[in-house]
Amino acid sequence: MSPNSTSPLVGSPPAAATSGAEPAVRLRDLRKSFGQVHAVDGVDLDIAGGEFFSMLGPSGSGKTTVLRMIAGFQLPTSGTVELDGRDVSRAAPFQRDVNTVFQDYALFPHMTVLGNVEYGLRVKRVPKAERRERALQALRSVRLGEHGDRKPSQLSGGQRQRVALARALVNRPKVLLLDEPLGALDLKLRQEMQLELKQIQREVGITFIFVTHDQDEALTMSDRIAVFNQGRIEQVGTPAEVYEQPASPFVAGFVGTSNLLSGSNAEAVIGRPGVYSIRPEKIRIDADLDRGAALGETSAAGTVTDAVYAGASVRYEVSLDAGARLSVVRPNSGTSDVDHPAGSKVRLVWRDEHSFQLTEADR
């Protein structure tokens, strides 16, 4: 799938973060093949110091393999990895100023929390007093300063995850790699940890590279997101850029739900050929069929085929007279269940810029 001209393949970090300095991480035409499988198929990326950067994509899209090549656990088939301007493509993991937090944060069960955090420093023969001070500081930064004497079994899942984080932070790496670190937590705890982790990252100021397949998580936490598909990056941008201006049908479909209009449907509704994405929450639904679209708006008539009450919102499926089907999500501002039950004739209205063109029309 070839990205169009509006999709920045090499994500440019925020200008302020890069002025004068090398990016914390720079990947150039990075590739990794396992036999016939091109797990990573030409990735270019610049990540600035202090960024919270997410790699988002479905399972098998190459995220973990990219992370492992940054860490040095896997060597590229071709291409380069630079850290702070230094080519480390062939360097061993211990020669790189990065640490990794995995999802299955295996803590030593027989050691205290403090012992777990100190362990790496002990291996590096850091003197005892310094080791203790740094471990306590790392525990305080993840808000577990009071829990150093406990055993991992005496902590909640979220607390154990934070111990794993402290164990990486204690090494004071330039870059922290996190591979689906919240995947084992239930939804409510995961949402709490998302905010917590973002807060911790701001405080410690370390570059975080965060791998997830969860689009909500990426949108909530990141300064910028790279969207992966089949070993390649389809788009790099801020959460709002990726959500509001998806560069390809894949991004539009993977990040949030999206309606696509194309072919004769696009010609009939938009008035031009091309492929257009419209987010369900951008569409108004109007029972007044006679009121046309205002200046700068697009409208289309149709029939509600399905109305699903979901508490805070209501989702409608609408079959347009012009032939396409659009999903519409409205906040539930009414007092009954749905305002437009199945079978209702309705008019859909949205601002012109919300039918976002994904690709140039074939002519």
User: Using CB under 5 A as the criterion, which residues of the chain lie in contact with Mg ion when the complex forms?
Assistant: 64
248 near 276, Cβ under 8 Å? no
Q: Which is nearer to ligand ADP, 212 or 259 (CB)?
A: 212
Q: Which does 215 bind (CB under 5 to 8 A by kind): Mg ion, ligand ADP, none?
A: none
Q: Which does 37 bind (CB under 5 to 8 A by kind): Mg ion, ligand ADP, none?
A: ligand ADP
Cα within 13 Å of Cα(104), Cβ side: 0
Query: What minimum distance in Å lies between the beta carbon of 213 and Mg ion?
Result: 8
Query: What minimum distance in Å lies between the beta carbon of 73 and ligand ADP?
Result: 10
116 near 163, Cβ under 8 Å? yes
Query: What minimum distance in Å lies between the beta carbon of 171 and ligand ADP?
Result: 24
Query: What minimum distance in Å lies between the beta carbon of 182 and ligand ADP?
Result: 15
Q: Which does 100 bind (CB under 5 to 8 A by kind): ligand ADP, Mg ion, none?
A: none
Q: Which does 265 bind (CB under 5 to 8 A by kind): Mg ion, ligand ADP, none?
A: none
Angle at 331 between CA 327 and CA 335, to 5 degrees: 120
Query: What minimum distance in Å lies between the beta carbon of 96 and ligand ADP?
Result: 19
Q: Which is nearer to ligand ADP, 135 or 236 (CB)?
A: 236
Query: What minimum distance in Å lies between the beta carbon of 57 and ligand ADP?
Result: 5
Q: Which is nearer to Mg ion, 65 or 277 (CB)?
A: 65
Which SS3 state, helix, strand or coil, does residue 46 take?
Answer: strand
Beta strands 325-331 and 313-320, pairing class: antiparallel
Rounded CA gap, 204 and 167, in Å? 14
In order of 22, 80, 165, 214, 332, the CA distances from 304 in angstroms are 54, 53, 49, 30, 17
Residue nearest Mg ion, Cβ-based: 64
Which SS3 state, helix, strand or coil, does residue 192 take?
Answer: helix
Rounded CA gap, 157 and 299, in Å? 49
95 near 72, Cβ under 8 Å? yes
Which ranges of 275-358 does DSSP label H, i.e. alpha helix? none
Q: Which is nearer to ligand ADP, 61 or 207 (CB)?
A: 61
Q: Which does 39 bind (CB under 5 to 8 A by kind): Mg ion, ligand ADP, none?
A: ligand ADP
Q: Which does 62 bind (CB under 5 to 8 A by kind): ligand ADP, Mg ion, none?
A: ligand ADP
Q: Which is nearer to ligand ADP, 212 or 277 (CB)?
A: 212
Residue 195: alpha-carbon gap to chain centroid: 14
In order of 3, 74, 253, 348, the CA distances from 281 in angstroms are 25, 42, 14, 12
Q: Which is nearer to ligand ADP, 228 or 350 (CB)?
A: 228
Instruction: Give residues in contact with ligand ADP (CB under 6 A).
Output: 34, 37, 39, 57, 59-65
Q: Which is nearer to ligand ADP, 37 or 287 (CB)?
A: 37
Q: Which does 327 bind (CB under 5 to 8 A by kind): Mg ion, ligand ADP, none?
A: none
Q: Which letter does DSSP use for residue 169 in this model?
A: H
The single-letter code of the amino acid at 105 is: Y
Q: Which is nearer to Mg ion, 98 or 136 (CB)?
A: 98
Q: Which does 302 bind (CB under 5 to 8 A by kind): ligand ADP, Mg ion, none?
A: none
205 near 22, Cβ under 8 Å? no
Query: What six digits make up the tokens of 139?
Result: 């525990």
Query: What six digits make up the tokens of 291?
Result: 């009121």
In order of 30, 39, 45, 54, the CA distances from 26 in angstroms are 10, 19, 6, 15
Query: What minimum distance in Å lies between the beta carbon of 63 and Mg ion?
Result: 5
Query: What minimum distance in Å lies between the beta carbon of 235 and ligand ADP?
Result: 16
